[in-house]
Amino acid sequence: MTILEIITYPDARLRGQAEAISDFAAPAVQQLVDDLLHTMAALPACVGVAAPQTGHLCRLLVIDCQNGRKPPPEHHGLLVVGNPEILEWSGMAVGREGCLSLPDYTGNVMRAHTVRVRFQDRNGQVHILTLNGFEARVMQHEMDHLDGKLFTDRIVSRKADLFPRRQTT
């Protein structure tokens, strides 16, 4: 397994439209899944990585909210998510987000509090899950990467809602 390089803004590849995965059994897809999982595990407090953040324009992401600094009480654990689609959403909430591809900033972003998502796992099996709170936010954030969007595209005001990240020493 390889720790993949995370590309950062303003790299144009972050704005690309990811292609659907048609063959989950393909060795290249399985290797990418393993590499994304290895990459996420290697990054402190990382709760998600989307394939486009590593230069792979396919509709694949991994999330694991239990890896965060403050894991939510309810979560589905490690999820490998291919070809995701939001079926329903409800409630809206503002929350602070950061991104590996924009490492120097965080921002206040409005997102749905609850999402019902259909996706395929690493074996191509279809799942439908309802995610709430932080886990729903992470899913929406990572899904945005599949469509070439960054959290900064969703903030209302760069002046009021975008913040330099605190540097830890």
Q: Which residues are catalytic?
A: 142
DSSP codes of every residue in 66-126? GGSSS--SS---SEEEEEEEEEEEEEEEEEEEEETTEEEEEEEEEEEEEEEEEEE-TT--E
Q: What type of residue sits at position 156?
A: V
User: Half-sphere exposure (CA, 13 Å, Cβ side) for 150?
Assistant: 22
Strands 126-132, 60-63: parallel, antiparallel or unpaired by DSSP?
Answer: unpaired
